[in-house]
């Protein structure tokens, strides 16, 4: 099949459809309800014109890089029927008064959206108010070109990609053309709107006329979604409306909206309009509660028009662009995708109601909440064990989501990092919740699962992580499960650990309230028994619990091919280079060094390097895991700093001690041809996986518990402990707040840091 541009980038702007001289292109609805250009090969002459003018293939950014920014609002009468400050109708009326034409979006007879052209104020009403799904531009570019060549004044309003499509079709700017683009959150599928209105409880003879997604009858900041039918008016707060919930959670947007090439400055149009969210932070007097528009003048033409109409406006004030950006980031960046939720949405909506689909995909309805280190900065193992856990839970027919409490914001540029990209592509992540909200969410699920990775490690239990990884926020009636969790220490190390002593009391109370406890190391089972007097099971890391074919989705995205030595080392030292030279010479091959700190290799490439290597040298727990999964030769330096006991469980369970060294010098005496007997290893692994699955099936499906006192303890004691901790940390917060006020300059920073620490803990309660 022939394509105009890469399908995931296609915006559906319709420029190619309008420009084709052979009528070989039709805009056809795909399975998600979005329009895409389809080329008829029997009519196509391969002239390439569609590809040349496509704004995705050839984006242009000709406007101001530093546009003027204004807060503006028209008179109250115009604002009454508009979403924000009514700048569009104010500008449109100015154009109409000059005998001009307006091209904007209106409902058609089938309640779909299309661009139409009007030349009078009566028909202008059709173009007012926000319409939150994608419109069909049809032949409007051709019609606009004809008007422009006839020297008519034309105003075109649309999304940035539609404005880009118009300019691409015209191949030039016209003095008599004025364009407006919207600060676009992204465009939902028209199919979702059809589903929405089909599920309204209407009478058999009742017909929907239109929907106003931003009805301001209750004011600008608490707007309603209002659907008008032939019999009545149906309204509810927008954030309670299922269509708006789907829209605002980004699960029903066009794929191109998540990597939009036009959500940036310079903007596409002469003028950009949107809601001036956050204007109160700059000047409260610019918000009278009836709607204030954000206005960017991106060209001289746009600035001139705004200057012409400003005398008619009720509010008009220049404002800093940074204030506008802070309140409305879609000015300069597109929404980040959550591929898992989006894919699930368009799959479920075909078999479930929109409300049911939104509950699962947008409102985080699930069976199990998952908590581990998947946000943990530059860590390939963390995101892959998170992925494996999610896949494992899904195998039992349960929906799971990773609880997002916003901790990823601590990591600079996380959203655009290798790990952020992987999380958005492969992990089912909840909306961001504050701690009180997370407690309410925990009341709606079967259970909360802690693990895997070193979530039990005492030095990880600091600040807000203390209550997160002890699950103190979880409702008493909800199952608490530690699944393949890790202390990262053996029994003696744990008893001597200073960090453990500071949180011993909290750990003791928390773990007694868990319904099920398991560790990925035998040493962790010993710690639970000897220190806390609790039973725990030895359960393999989740990366082993799923079939290795589960990683094919990730591997298929890789673009590397290498069969030499691969190094993945977390803690380097100067001796490694000598070892690398020795191994390369010994095996007559080259080496790839994957830098754990930089995270500059994609997760798919990281996995592929291990899968295809001749030999892996690593000090990483999960590096060893995947070498074993893919049956690859490896040498592992047992990294005491990060937890040597993790490797001891491998050695004990699978009898593979010859592949582990305690110092790099030992590598020189290794027999590199003496590889693991993977036939025997795979047999033992299958036995262990089967054992773990039998246990976990009982835990997840049949409420099996290995902590007999958990229910009684939670009912009688957890609330006491909860209040005790709250009081304890509140007093410490007040103490350090006082010290901060009276401290000298040198001591202020320390007091402030302590104050912030305890404030963050108190906020969990």
Condensed to tens digits (0 to 9), the pLDDT of residues 118-150 reads 999 999 999 988 888 899 999 999 999 999 999
Q: Which three-class secondary structure string do you get for 604-668?
A: HHHHHHHHHCCEEEECCHHHHHHHHHCCCCEEEECCHHHCCHHHHHHHHHHCCHHHEECCHHHHH
What does the DSSP 8-state code read for residue 513?
T
**Average of per-residue pLDDT across 309-324:** 95
DSSP β-bridge partners for residue 449: 370, 481
Extended strands (E) in 695-762: none
Q: Which has the closest alpha carbon to 309: 297, 320, 298, 319? A: 297
What pLDDT sits at residue 305? 97
What pLDDT sits at residue 725? 55
Relative to beta strand 634-637, strand 660-661 is parallel
CB-CB contact of 130 with 83 (8 Å)? yes
User: pLDDT by residue (tens digit) across 619-661?
Assistant: 999 999 999 999 999 999 987 666 677 777 778 888 888 888 8
Q: Which has the closest alpha carbon to 608: 590, 630, 584, 580? A: 630
* DSSP string over 659-699: GEESSGGGGGGS-TT----HHHHHHHHHHHHHHHHHHHHHH
| Cα–Cα dist 330/707, whole Å | 49
What does the DSSP 8-state code read for residue 188?
B
CB-CB contact of 461 with 506 (8 Å)? yes
Residue located via tokens 């030292």: 573
What pLDDT sits at residue 724? 52
More confidently predicted of 707 and 753:
707
CB-CB contact of 331 with 265 (8 Å)? yes
What pLDDT sits at residue 745? 62
Total residue length of the chain: 765
Confidence tier at 385 by pLDDT (50, 70, 90): very high
How many of the other CB atoms lie within 10 Å of CB of 347? 12
CB-CB contact of 265 with 69 (8 Å)? no
Q: Which has the closest alpha carbon to 51: 30, 33, 32, 24? A: 24
What does the DSSP 8-state code read for residue 718?
I
Helices (H), 199-299: 242-248
Cis peptide leading into residue 266 (ω within 30°): yes
What does the DSSP 8-state code read for residue 716?
I
Q: What is the mean pLDDT of the chain?
A: 90
CB-CB contact of 292 with 72 (8 Å)? yes
Helix, strand, coil percent values for the chain (each to nearest 5):
45, 15, 40
What pLDDT sits at residue 615? 95
**Average of per-residue pLDDT across 604-611:** 97
């Amino acid at each position: 099949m022939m394509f105009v541009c890469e399908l995931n980038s296609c915006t559906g702007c319709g420029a190619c459809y309008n420009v084709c001289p052979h009528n070989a292109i039709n805009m056809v609805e795909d399975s998600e309800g979005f329009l895409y250009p389809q080329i008829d090969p029997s009519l196509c002459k391969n002239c390439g014109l569609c590809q040349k003018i496509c704004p995705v293939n050839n984006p242009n950014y000709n406007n101001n890089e530093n546009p003027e920014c204004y807060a503006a609002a028209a008179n109250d009468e115009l604002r009454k029927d508009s979403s924000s400050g009514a700048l569009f109708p104010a500008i449109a009326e100015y154009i109409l008064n000059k005998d001009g034409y307006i091209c904007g979006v209106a409902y058609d007879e089938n309640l779909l959206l299309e661009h139409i052209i009007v030349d009078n104020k009566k028909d202008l009403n059709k173009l007012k108010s926000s319409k939150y799904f994608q419109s069909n531009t049809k032949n409007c570019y051709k019609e606009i070109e004809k008007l422009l060549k006839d020297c008519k004044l034309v105003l075109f309003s649309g999304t940035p990609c539609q404005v880009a499509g118009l300019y691409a079709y015209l191949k030039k700017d016209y003095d008599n053309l004025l364009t407006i683009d919207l600060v676009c959150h992204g465009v939902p599928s028209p199919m979702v709107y059809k589903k929405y209105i089909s599920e309204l409880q209407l009478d058999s003879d009742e017909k929907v006329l239109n929907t106003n997604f931003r009805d301001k009858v209750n004011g600008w900041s608490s707007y309603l979604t209002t659907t008008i039918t032939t019999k009545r008016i149906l309204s509810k707060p927008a954030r309670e409306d299922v269509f708006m919930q789907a829209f605002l959670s980004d699960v029903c947007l066009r794929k191109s909206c998540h990597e939009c090439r036009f959500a940036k400055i310079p903007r596409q149009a002469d003028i950009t309009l949107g809601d001036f969210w956050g204007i109160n932070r700059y000047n409260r007097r610019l918000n009278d509660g009836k709607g204030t528009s954000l206005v960017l003048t991106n060209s001289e033409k746009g600035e001139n028009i705004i200057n012409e109409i400003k005398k008619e406006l009720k509010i008009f004030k220049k404002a800093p662009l940074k204030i506008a950006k802070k309140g409305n980031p879609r000015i300069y960046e597109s929404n980040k995708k959550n591929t898992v939720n989006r894919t699930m949405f368009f799959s479920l909506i075909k078999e479930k109601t929109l409300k049911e689909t939104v509950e699962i995909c947008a409102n985080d309805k699930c069976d199990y909440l998952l908590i581990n280190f998947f946000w943990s900065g530059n860590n390939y193992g963390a995101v892959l064990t998170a992925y494996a856990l999610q896949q494992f839970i899904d195998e039992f027919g349960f929906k799971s989501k990773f609880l997002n409490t916003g901790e990823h914001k601590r990591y600079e540029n996380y959203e655009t990092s290798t790990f952020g990209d992987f999380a958005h592509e492969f992990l089912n992540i909840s909306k961001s919740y504050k701690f009180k909200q997370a407690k309410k969410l925990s009341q709606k699920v079967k259970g909360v699962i802690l693990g895997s990775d070193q979530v039990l490690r005492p030095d990880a239990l600091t600040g807000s992580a203390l209550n997160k990884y002890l699950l103190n926020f979880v409702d008493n009636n909800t199952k608490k499960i530690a699944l393949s969790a890790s202390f990262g220490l053996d029994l003696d190390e744990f008893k001597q650990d200073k960090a453990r002593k500071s949180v011993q009391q909290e750990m003791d109370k928390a773990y007694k309230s868990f319904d099920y406890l398991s560790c990925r190391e035998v040493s962790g089972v010993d710690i639970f028994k000897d220190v806390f007097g609790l039973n725990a099971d030895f359960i393999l890391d989740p990366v082993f619990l799923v079939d290795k074919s589960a990683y094919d989705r990730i591997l298929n995205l890789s673009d590397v091919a290498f069969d030499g030595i691969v190094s993945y080392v977390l803690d380097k030292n100067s001796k490694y280079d000598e070892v690398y030279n020795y191994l390369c010479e010994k095996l007559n091959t080259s080496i790839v060094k994957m830098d754990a700190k930089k995270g500059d290799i994609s997760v798919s490439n990281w996995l592929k390097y291990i899968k295809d290597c001749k030999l892996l040298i690593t000090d990483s727990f999960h590096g060893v895991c995947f070498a074993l999964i893919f049956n690859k030769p490896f040498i592992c330096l047992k990294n005491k700093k990060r937890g040597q006991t993790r490797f001891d469980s491998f050695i004990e369970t699978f009898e593979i001690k010859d592949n582990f060294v305690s110092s790099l010098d030992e590598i020189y005496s290794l027999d590199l041809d003496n590889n693991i007997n993977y036939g025997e290893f795979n047999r033992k692994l299958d036995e262990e996986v089967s054992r773990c699955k039998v246990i976990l099936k009982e835990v997840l499906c049949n409420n099996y518990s290995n902590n007999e006192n958990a229910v009684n303890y939670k009912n009688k004691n957890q609330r006491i402990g909860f209040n005790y901790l709250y009081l304890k940390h509140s007093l410490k917060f007040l103490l350090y707040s006082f010290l901060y006020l009276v401290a000298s300059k040198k001591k202020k920073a320390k007091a402030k840091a302590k104050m912030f620490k305890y404030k963050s803990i108190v906020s969990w309660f």
